[in-house]
Amino acid sequence: MCFVRHGTTPTTGKVLPGRARGLHLSEQGHAEADRAGERLARLGSVRAVYSSPLERARETARHVASHLALPVSVDRGLLECDFGEWTGAELAALRKLDAWDAVQRHPAGFRFPGGESFAELQARIAGAVERLVARHPDEVVVAVSHADPIKIAVGDAMGVPLDLVQRTVISPCSISMVAYADGGPTVLCVNSTGDLPPIARARASTGGRSPAPTGGRA
């Protein structure tokens, strides 16, 4: 499965937009998404594209899908975390809060005020991955989502405790590839903004297991 974070928006790095509607890709974000589509097309084996329902993700997914001649399907399991009362807050202000330290150092025990907990987000994204893997056995799937869900999905695949997932960076339109197989997941790349590992080479590196979903669990 190829996890893709949405492209840059006018508020990226400045605001915690969460699930607020009406946030679209910037000109830079559209260009990033188009490049991501070109890179994924070179794999030559993508069979489905899924997206979070938020505009910035769907716009990214449409760029990607245009290079693959595939439709975009929306899956709510790929949705951004519900930041509750923090939705739309400036990151500079949030970083001054004592609670921000908990977000970075102990996310497993943190719930956003009036919103979702990291543990709930972890369960949701794991369910989405399991569902998509089961729906597309032995196929390469693209899932366009958001930074925190992708951090957690990749962390789960690597066996990283939830409290340590913030040590991973997921940049706009970066691609992270995970092979799901009966013997367990294998992480092929994380936060890639360059060339992706060829599928044939990736299969060899995993002992012949396909880097596409093969019915394993998140």
Q: Which tens digits make up the pLDDT trace of 93-103?
A: 999 999 999 99
Whole-number pLDDT of residue 196 = 79
- pLDDT at residue 198, as a whole number: 67
Mean pLDDT in residue range 1-9: 98
Residue 202 has, within 13 A of its CA and on its CB side, a CA count of 22
Q: What is the pLDDT of residues 147-201, one digit of tens each?
A: 999 999 999 999 999 999 999 999 999 999 999 988 899 999 999 998 777 654 4
CATH superfamily of 2-205: Phosphoglycerate mutase-like (3.40.50.1240)
Instruction: With a cut of 90, say whether residue 213 has pLDDT above it.
Output: no
Query: Which tokens hold the place of 18?
Result: 């969460």
Q: How many Å apart are CA 205 and CA 147, to the nearest integer? A: 27
- Contact, 13 vs 184, CB < 8 A? no
Give the model's confidence band at 115: pLDDT under 50 very low, under 70 low, under 90 confident, else very high. Answer: very high
**Residue 80: predicted pLDDT:** 98
Q: How far is CA 30 from the centre of its chain?
A: 17
Domain boundaries defined on the chain: 2-205
The SS3 of residue 144 is strand
